[in-house]
């Protein structure tokens, strides 16, 4: 078996705002396995500024990985424990290699166009009018769960946007999630959570910056609405440290991005620990191309979660790859009659 890698830059259709800044491009990498005419494709979804493996020698690690592909998946995953995006790419590539169709990563009703995954509609930060338009579009598209990124514009403006949804739709009709990306200061966080709770918010992701373990534990204890850990999970490698983190903070939910937390195996570790501690969870993509999104979606479907998942729709980029992934009535579906257009 031989392995090669290639860099690819995804371009946003419209600059997308988060509390960490505005994103215009997204760097990603692909690993391709080949042997006797069979291929396997995996995406290493590096997220500059967020991934723990955002290091200057990232390409050197990819090169080493390809040169040592003969070591096999299990050995490579152990060696690359500090590089979760490469772990994710490798797991996908090896699973892809096993199938006649390299884009059928995990065979299920989903990959056979017989099942769908409920997802939340994501509202990106921007001007009030832009965010209002996104909300209108998502509701018209049939989403029953909407997630709004908050923390970049005035908090009262964000509250007003959420109120406008709640005035029209009850919590039984539209579930509202918010994602602060660590934007709140610990001294003000509880007050803001109290205000948000008046709107029957389903949950808030990462209200304060990661690494403030005791402050986050206090928030989870006192918060009137459920808190979901997201960035807090990045860079926590061992099972012992994962258990200790959840035991200390006691969050209501954790959110798993395979590209950022050790691929499918790392995510499965988190899920096992969360279930033991009666902590809820759901899966989220991290701006991968349709190649990575497809792998995450097929894996997620097999987990049989009833919650709406945070899976992207592939529609953010001008140069994404045409794929069978489609969004219909707030669900992600795989239409086998649509061909892939993956040329690298």
Catalytic residues, which ones? Answer: 149, 257
Nearest Cα to Cα of residue 71 among 63, 83, 79: 79
C-alpha radius of gyration, the chain, whole number: 20
Task: In whole angstroms, give the CA distance from residue 233 to residue 341.
Answer: 34
| SS3 of residue 265 by DSSP | helix
Is residue 215 within 8 A of residue 183, CB to CB? The reply is: no
Closest by CA to 273, choosing from 248, 306, 292, is 248
Q: Is 49 helix (H, G, I), strand (E, B) or coil?
A: coil
Which pairing describes strands 227-229 and 280-283: parallel, antiparallel, or unpaired?
unpaired
Residue 21 CA: distances (Å) to CA of 25, 88, 326: 12, 25, 28
Strand 21-35, strand 2-18: pairing: antiparallel
Residue 166 vs residues 23, 150, 172, 198, 200: alpha-carbon distances, Å = 29, 16, 10, 10, 8
- The tokens describing 59, both together, are 């390409």
| Whole-angstrom distance, CA of residue 287 vs CA of residue 310 | 11
- Alpha-carbon gap, residue 287 to 45, rounded angstroms: 8
Q: How many CB atoms lie within 10 A of CB 336?
A: 12
Tokens linked to 171 = 């919590």
């Amino acid at each position: 078996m031989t392995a090669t890698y290639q860099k690819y830059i995804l371009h946003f259709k419209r600059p997308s705002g988060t509390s960490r800044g505005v994103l215009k491009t997204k760097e990603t990498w692909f690993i391709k396995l080949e042997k006797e005419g069979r291929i396997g494709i995996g995406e290493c979804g590096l997220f500059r500024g967020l991934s723990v493996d955002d290091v200057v020698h990232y390409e050197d690690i990819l090169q080493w990985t390809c040169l040592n592909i003969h070591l096999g998946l299990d050995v490579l995953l152990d060696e690359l424990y500090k590089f979760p995006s490469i772990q994710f790419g490798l797991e996908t590539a090896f699973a892809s290699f096993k199938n006649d169709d390299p884009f059928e990563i995990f065979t299920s009703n989903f990959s056979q166009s017989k099942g769908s995954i409920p997802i939340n509609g994501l509202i990106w930060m921007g001007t009030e009018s832009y965010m209002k338009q996104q909300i209108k579009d998502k509701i018209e598209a049939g989403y029953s769960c909407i997630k709004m990124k908050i923390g970049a514009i005035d908090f009262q403006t964000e509250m007003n946007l959420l109120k406008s949804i709640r005035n029209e739709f009850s919590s039984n009709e539209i579930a509202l999630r918010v994602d602060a990306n660590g934007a709140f200061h610990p001294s003000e966080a509880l007050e803001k959570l109290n205000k948000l709770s008046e709107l029957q918010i389903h949950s808030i992701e990462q209200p304060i910056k990661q690494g403030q373990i005791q402050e986050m534990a206090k928030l989870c204890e006192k918060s009137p609405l459920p808190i979901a850990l997201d960035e807090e999970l990045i860079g926590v490698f061992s099972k012992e440290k994962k258990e200790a983190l959840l035991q200390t903070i006691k969050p209501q939910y954790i959110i798993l991005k395979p590209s950022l937390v050790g691929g499918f195996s790392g995510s499965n570790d988190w899920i096992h620990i969360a279930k033991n501690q009666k902590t809820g969870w759901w899966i989220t993509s991290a701006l991968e191309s349709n190649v990575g999104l497809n792998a995450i979606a097929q894996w997620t479907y097999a987990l049989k979660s009833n919650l709406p998942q945070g899976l992207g729709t592939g529609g953010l980029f001008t140069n994404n790859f045409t794929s069978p992934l489609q969004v219909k009535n707030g669900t992600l579906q795989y239409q086998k009659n649509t061909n892939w257009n993956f040329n690298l």
